[in-house]
Amino acid sequence: MTPVLRPIWFVDSPVGLPDGTWARIANTLLWYQGIEARRAGRSPEHIAIAALDGWLAGLGVSERTSAQTQLAGIAAPRALLTLGERVLRFDVPQVMGILNMTPDSFSDGGKHVGDPEAAADAGFAMGLAGASIIDVGGESTRPGADPVWEGDEIARVVPVIDRLAKSGAIISIDTRKAAVMEAALAAGAHIVNDISALLHDPRSMDVVAKAGCPVILMHSPSAGPDPHDKASPYRDVVADTYAFLEARIAACIAAGIARERIIVDPGIGFGKSLADSLALINRLATFQSLGQPLLLGASRKRIVGALSNEAPAAQRLGGSLALALEGARAGAAILRVHDVVESVQAVRVWRGLRDAALSAVA
């Protein structure tokens, strides 16, 4: 069984450490001194960077090739995305603000329905507060949500996207329907954010490939009407999610989507128990091995309520910030959040701490 690798033993700075004892995650401000290797049915192995060559030499050919590919993925710089007149860089976490145009989303459904001007104003405010991306969605994907006809979804999101695009904002369209993707991109959206990883609609892969736009591939257990529908238990939720995303990256590249325009999201809470979501966040750095920018979307989700006396969605700010910072520590490139002002402030303070550690004299 091929091991799945995760960077461990993070250090504040490589300054003063001997060469060959540390490595860096992509072009981020994160350095580490060890690798965890997990195989199904076995205890995890912990290998120091200094001992990595010897460990690799002891693997079989196919296992060694896979491990070397994963290590290269961890180290590979995450490419800049040029989106219109804006450039999105991933050396530090970027904040994505959530703008729901739905009557029934779990957190803020109904807030902007039927008022595209007010919704666009909310998006403008997110940008002024420091959000790098505004994620506009017209269909709730909470458990038990009713499906939305694509025409209604288009009517909800396009007027908002049109207004935001004129301001120069970077916009992602949160949809799993090809017709909505086409309409949103035509209105000025830059990124497709699909919770089904382009599996729900058979045309969506072609739409994204032809548009040449970046795409966010999220893991959910079902590409059907209910993205939370799980047919069988996870063998290992992290390994299973990793394998799914690895396969979807390969499928996208085969369909003509450039690797440097693919972002991955483990799908916290989608068909996952509290224990599953905790495992994904605790081992989030595993997904760095895929070599793609990583998005974490945990804001106000059930995991926060479950760990805080069933706090309602509107009262989950503290827990959401804790999860966002955990994502930053694992190298997440994008943090998808409801509370932009507070999240941007948290990321800026985290960045200041990293800068101070890096410049410290050994």
Catalytic residues: 301, 336
C-alpha to C-alpha distance for 231 and 154, rounded to whole angstroms: 31
Which pair of tokens denotes residue 323? 């999860």
CB contact set of 120 (below 8 Å; sequence gap of 6+): 160, 163, 164
Instruction: Judge contact between 218 and 174, C-beta under 8 A.
Output: no
Q: Tokens representing 79?
A: 């490419």
Pull the structure tokens for residue 176: 């799993």
- Give the integer Cα–Cα distance in Å for 196 and 251: 13
What DSSP assignment string belongs to 75-109? HSPPPPEEETTEEE--SSPEEEEEEE--S--TTTT
Cβ atoms 337, 97 nearer than 8 A: yes
Q: Please state whether beta strands 45-48 and 81-83 pair in parallel, antiparallel, or not at all (unpaired).
A: unpaired
Bridge partners for 46 per DSSP = 36
- Which residue is associated with the tokens 């039927």? 114
Q: What per-residue string of b and e applies to 55-82 under the rule 16 or more CB within 10 Å gives b?
A: beeebeeebeebbeebbebbebebbebe
Treating both helix axes as pointing N-terminal to C-terminal, what angle do 150-165 and 178-187 enclose, rounded to 10 degrees?
20
Token reading at 116: 């595209």
Q: Give the span between the Cα atoms of 206 and 204, in whole angstroms.
A: 5
- CA of residue 360 relative to chain centroid, distance: 31
